[in-house]
Amino acid sequence: MAQPSSLPMFPRERVHPFDLPPEYDRLRAEAPISRFVWPNGVEGWLVTTYDLQRKLLADNRFSIDRAGNMPPSLAIGRKPVMMPRSLVAMDPPEHTKWRRLILRDMTPGKARALEPRIEEITQEYLAGMREHGGPLDLLESLAFPVPSRIICELLGVPASDQEFFQQQTHVRSAVASTPDQVDEATIALIDYLTDIAEQKKRKPVDDLLSHLGAAEIDGEPVSREYMVGMGMLLLLAGHETTASTIGIGVAHLLENPSLIKELETPQGADKLVEEILRIHSIIQFGVTRRATTDVEIGGVRIAEGEWVTCLLASGNRDETQYKCPHAIDTSQPQVAHLTFGYGVHQCIGMSLARVELRVVLRALFSAFPTLRSVQPADKLRYREDMFVYGLYELPVQW
């Protein structure tokens, strides 16, 4: 039987939902690479400063592959879930060729080309809000359905199935989900996407999954298994993170209405989106890597096989990088944030997410200039028990 760890528990308690745990500030100043034990009993290093996170995430001696190893987690009793292989389990050189294949449909230019369609979809849901009247839940009415529709259309998945995969995603990302619930949700998604992949192989059309099914890697056709893995990654990551950012971003703007004027110009809107992404690092507990050999970084020796978590939310508040680290300030010098990660595994959907955020926020506040929250921000329910941070609901009226 394993002995209880003598290490401190990973800090999680927030004072305000828009602020990070105060312990992060102390760690950046005093111990930017520190050892902690996570709720599942796994020990690991926690990296809290911007420069060290970028250095580590660019170092190919740290692997993203979790196969056969239980990583640090907030989920107690969670066993490793068997997932179809995708980019989040691949290191270079395997990762390089697969990422290049997917990236053809996820370039900044492709994202910009989708802007008219994103605007059209957004206006459809805004019209639904007008018809319904307030108060209503902005997450249910706008923040979740818009990114879901967009990723469905991009992949070639029926939009009528949005509710199904949103529910499975929720189960998979909730810390409180049991191992059996996670397995059931994963199997349901695999079965669903296997059927979709078979359809795309038989009758390809102009969508990402069809493009993937018609492609080759190392001279061999892409298998259905890889289509399912890549499709699941994009389906899960392509809507929940963006939807949660829209929700908490709107809540923040409603608490600080002077910021809304930034949406009036394209340049102001772009800067505001970047600041919302920085302040509200939606993957609240960061990204985890495993050392494949002994590594010294920041004066600390990390042994082969040890886990390291880059707490991106902390890096995005690093006082050495940002003039105004703890608040949204579009006038401060723009330093590239870490919300989408860094290095070869930087989020492949970041360009699409940026366009979606800009379009939805501008359209929302243009359509509803008197929009207001039914409750103050600190009285709302936040997803503190989820790997993806955000709100459970955002009741609004106008």
H or E element at residue 205? none
> Do the Cβ atoms of 371 and 363 come closer than 8 Å?
no
User: Which structure tokens are listed for 355?
Assistant: 């366009």
pLDDT per residue over 47-70, tens digit each? 999 999 999 999 999 999 887 678
According to the model, what pLDDT value does residue 3 have? 53
CATH label, 82-279+331-397, candidates 1.10.630.10, 1.10.3720.10, 3.50.50.60, 3.40.140.10: 1.10.630.10
> Where does the pLDDT of residue 238 fall: very low under 50, low under 70, confident under 90, or very high at 90 and above?
confident
Q: Across the chain, what does the average pLDDT equal?
A: 91
**256-264: average pLDDT:** 97
Q: Is residue 135 pLDDT above 70, yes or no?
A: yes
> Do the Cβ atoms of 389 and 245 come closer than 8 Å?
no
> Where does the pLDDT of residue 333 fall: very low under 50, low under 70, confident under 90, or very high at 90 and above?
very high
Q: Is residue 147 pLDDT above 80, yes or no?
A: yes
Q: Is 233 helix (H, G, I), strand (E, B) or coil?
A: helix
Distance CA 18, CA 20 (A): 7
pLDDT per residue over 89-120, tens digit each? 899 999 999 999 999 999 999 999 999 999 99
> Do the Cβ atoms of 352 and 114 come closer than 8 Å?
yes
> Where does the pLDDT of residue 173 fall: very low under 50, low under 70, confident under 90, or very high at 90 and above?
confident
Residue 366's Cα: distance from chain center in Å? 26
According to the model, what pLDDT value does residue 2 have? 45
Minimal CA–CA distance to 361: which of 211, 138, 90? 138
According to the model, what pLDDT value does residue 80 have? 54
pLDDT per residue over 37-51, tens digit each? 988 889 999 999 999
> Where does the pLDDT of residue 1 fall: very low under 50, low under 70, confident under 90, or very high at 90 and above?
very low
> Any residues with CB less than 8 A from the CB of 1 and at least 6 apart, and which?
none
Distance CA 274, CA 277 (A): 5
pLDDT per residue over 175-198, tens digit each? 777 878 888 888 898 999 999 999
> Do the Cβ atoms of 358 and 268 come closer than 8 Å?
no
> Where does the pLDDT of residue 85 fall: very low under 50, low under 70, confident under 90, or very high at 90 and above?
confident
> Where does the pLDDT of residue 290 fall: very low under 50, low under 70, confident under 90, or very high at 90 and above?
very high
Q: Is 317 helix (H, G, I), strand (E, B) or coil?
A: coil
Other C-beta atoms lying within 10 Å of the C-beta of residue 326: 13
**145-157: average pLDDT:** 92
Kindly give the pairing relationship between strand 43-47 and strand 307-310: parallel
Q: Is 30 helix (H, G, I), strand (E, B) or coil?
A: helix
pLDDT per residue over 9-33, tens digit each? 888 889 999 999 999 999 999 999 9
User: Which structure tokens are listed for 179?
Assistant: 């191992």
According to the model, what pLDDT value does residue 81 have? 55
| 176 class by beta-carbon count within 10 Å (0-12 exposed, 13-18 middle, 19+ buried) | exposed
